[in-house]
Structure 1
């Protein structure tokens, strides 16, 4: 296995981007008193028409339903991923996009395989466990060893090798529920870095309390990483209910003995694809409004929330703009990124392949935080012109979406673009219950509320309409561009 593949742990960063940027910012109202021109009035008329059309449409939900039913789970490089690429091409063509094409992305395919965990002492019973993405396997007979528990990665780092040598490390950090997912960033290092830090002290394996907010017996997977020069050890996550149970066994001097058996494997290099659809602009075809989601998912559920919802929302929003206004003035580009879950691999390939034309992107955004209702729009626009879109902000405020900060990095895949001079937005969704389902077998279509995903579709469609039909240009001033 190429260990550099998992080094960055970017799928952790992807939700950090959404959960942390501007989380404590006090939203400011749009500026008033700016003169509105007839052309701007026409643009806002388009925005309202698209809003009305979207409010009556179930298209985003129907797209997610199609993806989850007809394809299902789609871990990068897998047979499901390959089916998803074909599905996406067919769906974009079916919806009437002018241009549909792919960008090849080389990915490392990993297969979960069998996973089992059992307490041997003091109270024999099974635990629900899943391998973390990229983990090596245990020996075929498993690993049986005493368990040492730590409340955090920091506490583990202060332990001695004598305490850890040959044992299974249990990282038992709780995650708190929060509307913006703010506490994810405090817990996810256990998943990303736990195997490295435990191995440095001689551990035989690491297990973590799942990074989630539920109390179920579903374990949460997600990518982990290894480090060159540090021995690789198996890494898994146990369900939160089982973490509570295991924690309760640590009383007095009683030894806790565990057997874990995980048969994950590296399946080698595969080719995946970014799948892209465009409605070509009539007046400024080289200026691009980019909306996106990521096509891949983990293999435990059907990837309905992460990120089937984003695929449906972005695709439906663009389609509704075309249906209502006809051919847009600027090109609308839908990008369904490959391999977000294992490190923003598709997004990085997109940037490499399009490095000379990134300057033409008027705005980029990604939906990748489930399907909870949107309550705020954060931007990374040229501050000198940000208020020029005040009529859009005012229209969004009427439906409960307030203007937030101007420092966002955008959604996960587009978060690498601001430093390259691309303006981005992040539409903040209510993620109160998102981490109950994130990366679990419970991430399925029934967790999507029709009214909520339709509200997402409408907000994205309104913004896409405005950006595609107006002359508003939030790109950095030429002297400020990278």
Structure 2
């Protein structure tokens, strides 16, 4: 998953906490009794759990464009048809394939010991026998940026900025640059490899993987994330000496292009001119865990909510559920979907890709002609403990390309206080999902879909967030 850095609220208010400044008071709006009934019934939902339990048990990890992701697509088609969705099909595309290899590291001096790590997606490879090189320690990513060009030639860079858990997930955007582009920066400065402290809020010995990016013309170097515990161990060693050498073996491969795809299903609407609503999450996962919170929960939540409208009454707008493929290696599924459907009329898009903990905040991006839709959402979501944000909606890797086309947006923000303890680790497993919190998500999505899908207003395109 990807979290965009959050914008600041525009106007400061004296003596009001910053988090309250970002909450927008909800207008006085009466909740449609049908919406309230559907929302409250969803608090006992079992469909979402059934989906994520089945996907993680019967398929497991789902690395993009591999045989495992193909099995997941086949599984999804069977499940969506069994649930009664219409027009269930797969839309395929091709993409590069990156697969993991051998991953070992050990300090060879001054205090010999093994380290726990995981290669980052798109990492380059060492020779099969590995490399042994001196390590240069950078406490923060900015310290790496400040290193002189050529100063890392023949050396391994080690960046150890520490991420903190936040409810809004903003720590990921703030500290994630070490993973997103750290390898590219180190490569341009001559580094033989790079190690980073895992971008996570845990204290354990499970490394957090995730993608890294190299600019055109930059040869990928070996890149890996140390577990938080091992990064802290390496920090302690550097407090004693700056003469540290590591032997590193990373043998990932980039294979020829292969097939990935999006799984699509619909709740048909009554008004074909009112625009389509696109919701979903991503079907692929990294390969260390079983992809329960990232993002089996997301496809389960959005599908379970859409199922509640599928069971009637029929909504005005068609709701299209998309289980996007290949989000983790670069959002290939979202890009392919937007390209294939660019001429369609979309009323709104939203995705769930932040685990399964309680939704605490929502935001919208509708034009003025649909302002009342946001007000009705505030009234419907308030009883679930969800506040309205002043910020403009429009986050999400998979639906981002639709937002770029001017599609209206709703963001339903889940709590990130636990998410980055397990994100992209072997600990991303079903036991991390709390059933009551999962159901609260389904209830929120059910209310949101009911309000937006049946809104009597019609609206045009909007200016995307950040434009």
1:458 corresponding residue in structure 2: 443
Q: 2:26 aligns with which of 27, 30, 48?
A: 30
Shift of 1:262: 1.0
The residue that corresponds to 1:429 in the other structure is: 414
Asked if the contact 2:123/2:212 (under 8 Å) is kept, the reply is yes
CA contact (8 A) 1:120 1:258 kept: yes
Per the alignment, residue 266 of structure 2 pairs with 278
1:408 paired residue number = 393
- Residue 375 of structure 1 pairs with residue 363 of structure 2: no
Q: How many residues align?
A: 455
Q: Alignment partner for residue 394 of structure 1, among 373, 379, 384? A: 379
2:12: which partner in 1? none
Q: Deviations over 1:212-260 (max 9, x none)?
A: 1100100011111122333321101100000000111113545111011
RMSD: 2.1
2:345 equivalent to 1:349: no
1 CA distance for matches of 2:106 and 2:75? 40
User: Residues 196-223 of structure 1, C-alpha deviation per residue, up to 9 Å, x if partnerless?
Assistant: 2112222111010000110010001111
Deviation (angstroms), 1:474: 4.7
Q: Distance in 2 between matches of 1:286 and 1:296?
A: 31
The one of 404, 423, 436 equivalent to 1:419 is 404
Residue 214, structure 1, aligned to residue 199, structure 2: no
TM-score (norm 2): 0.93
Query: In the alignment, is residue 175 of structure 1 matched against residue 163 of structure 2?
Result: yes
Structure 2 counterpart of 1:7: none
Residue equivalent to 2:226: 238
2:246 to 258, 263, 267: 258
Distance in 1, Cα, partners of 2:410 & 2:267 = 20
Q: Take 1:473 and 1:173, find their aligned partners in 2: how far apart are those partners?
A: 47
Measured in 1, the distance between the counterparts of 2:391 and 2:251 equals 46
Judge conservation of contact 1:21–1:409 (CA < 8 Å) in 2.
Answer: no
Q: In structure 1, how many angstroms separate the alpha carbons of the residues matched to 2:52 and 2:388?
A: 28
Structure 1: where are the runs of 5+ without partners? 1-10
Partner SS state of residue 109, structure 1: strand
**CA shift at 1:389, angstroms?**
4.6
Maintained 8 Å contact 1:30/1:387:
no
Please, which runs of 5 or more residues in structure 2 have no aligned partner? 10-17
1:22-421 to 2 correspondences below 5 Å:
26-32=22-28, 44-161=32-149, 163-284=151-272, 287-323=275-311, 325-357=312-344, 360-421=345-406
User: Could you list the per-position Cα deviations for residues 325-348 of structure 1 after superposition, in whole angstroms to 9, with x for gaps in the alignment?
Assistant: 233222111011111111111111
Deviates more, 1:411-420 or 1:111-120: 411-420
Give the distance between the partners of 2:273 and 2:309, measured in 1 at CA.
16
Separation in 2 of the partners of 1:243 and 1:446? Answer: 26
